[in-house]
A and B are shown apart, each in its own frame.
Chain A
Amino acid sequence: RIYPLMRVTLTTSDGASVTVSRQLTKHSGFIEKAITDMAVDDNAVPLSAVAVDVDDATLKLVIEWLTEHRDDALPYPEKTDEERRADDIPAWDQAFVQKWDTKEDQQQTLYAVITAADKLDIKGLLDMTCKTLANKINGKTVEEMREILQLECDFTEEELAEIRKENAWCEN
């Protein structure tokens, strides 16, 4: 059972502390496990401190997302052998990510939030940010993908020729 009034203090990797409702942290598998491992007495409702390996700026974004999604159903529906689509990101989430687009360090922010969602085991946020990244490379040419992902071609000429041959059916 989750006690929504219970507050949890999260200590970030850069030393900041943020206190949030248990109603938000219940979406994080990592924080829930940390609280459970502390064997917290439900009646005492203590201020549990959980150290999270995420910096303060990123944690604020994570909390903003969790606040919007606090009423999402749990457990998060796992999809395995099904078609996965990236065009179903909810409008609020799209606007949330677009706010970063105005920043110069947009890609670093996306990277930081993906990594934080993975570390904190927040499946909904992880899926949303991974879809956002997938949408950045969807429909791009090989050269455009290489530019977006900032990758050098490390194939030999023979390997490259083989890959071109394999990809021929999906190129115009």
Chain B
Amino acid sequence: FNILGLPTELISHVFSFLSMEDRLRARVNKRLDAIELASKYYVECVLIEEMSLSKFASPSDRNCVGGGVNRDYFQFNILGLPTELISHSFSFMSMEDRLRARVNKRLNDIELKSKYHVERV
């Protein structure tokens, strides 16, 4: 089936009917990978277990550097999200965190174009 002949929205629509495992496996080439990275997933529930990574990895393995840069043990490919979603996620952060979160050019550009709600100035 010549799936690449379909427009991106239709490929994304087809993939929306796959399970999460199948969707991840379906990233068999660069275009499908990019489509998947920009897609939403519906999950009925997520179990998040808090645990310390310090037992398992050294600071360098954890990609953790000092100096106040906003990095953490949790890793997430935020640049795979479309700009609106990144901006939406950032809108739930405090102004200080949003300013610190400008850790690369794209995030800096997104933050510069974002609105802030402040209760009082």
Q: Cβ of A107: which chain B residues have Cβ within 8 Å of it?
A: 1-2
A137 near B: Cβ within 8 Å?
Answer: yes
Contact B28 A110 (CB under 8 A): no
A136 to B27, CA, bound (A): 15
Question: Which residues of A sit under 8 angstroms from B6, Cβ to Cβ?
Answer: 111, 114-115
Q: Looking at chain A's contact residues, is the secondary structure mostly helix, strand, loop, or mixed?
A: helix
- Residue A60 at the B interface, CB < 8 A? no
Interface membership of A94, Cβ < 8 A? no
Q: Bound state CA distance, A151 and B19, in angstroms? A: 20
Chain A: which residue is nearest B19 at the CB level? A138
Taking a contact as CB atoms closer than 8 A, the residue among B7, B10, B22, B42 that contacts A84 in the complex is B42
Residues of A within 8 A of B25 (CB): 140-142, 145, 167, 170-171
Q: Does B58 contact A (CB under 8 A)?
A: no
Chain B residue total in the interface (Cβ 8 A): 30
Q: Do the beta carbons of B28 and A142 come within 8 Å of each other?
A: yes
CB neighbours of A86 from chain B (8 A): 17-18
Flag if B30 contacts A155 (CB, 8 Å): yes
Q: B20 near A: Cβ within 8 Å?
A: yes
A84 to B25, CA, bound (A): 18
Tell me how far the C-beta of A126 lies from the nearest C-beta in chain B, rounded to whole angstroms.
7
Contact residue among A83, A151, A167 (Cβ-Cβ distance under 8 Å from B24): A167
- Check if B68 is an interface residue, CB within 8 A of chain A: no
Q: Is A153 an interface residue (CB 8 A)?
A: yes
> Judging by beta carbons under 8 Å apart, are A145 and B21 in contact?
no
Q: When the two chains form their complex, are residues A154 and B14 in contact, meaning their CB atoms are under 8 A apart?
A: no
Interface positions of B from 10 to 36, Cβ below 8 Å from A: 10, 13-22, 24-30, 32-33
Nearest to B27 among chain A residues (CB) is A163
Interface residue tally on A, bucketed by range: 35 or more
Complex CA gap A14/B20 in Å reads 40
Q: Does A81 interact with chain B (Cβ within 8 Å)?
A: yes
A134 touches B5 (CB 8 A): no
Q: Kindly name the residue among B2, B4, B7 whose own CB sees the greatest number of chain A CB atoms within 10 A.
A: B2
Given contacts A81-B42, A114-B10, A115-B6, contact A153 B28 (CB under 8 A): yes
Nearest Cβ on chain A to B19's Cβ, whole angstroms: 7
> Given A82-B42, A111-B1, A170-B20: A149 and B14 within 8 A (CB)?
no
Q: List 23 A-B contacts (CB under 8 A).
A: A81-B42, A82-B42, A84-B42, A107-B1, A111-B2, A114-B10, A115-B6, A130-B16, A131-B17, A133-B14, A137-B26, A138-B19, A140-B25, A141-B25, A142-B28, A149-B28, A150-B1, A151-B4, A153-B28, A154-B30, A155-B29, A170-B25, A171-B25
Q: A130-B14, A131-B17, A134-B15 are in contact. List 6 more A-B contacts (CB 8 A).
A: A81-B40, A107-B1, A118-B10, A130-B16, A134-B18, A167-B24
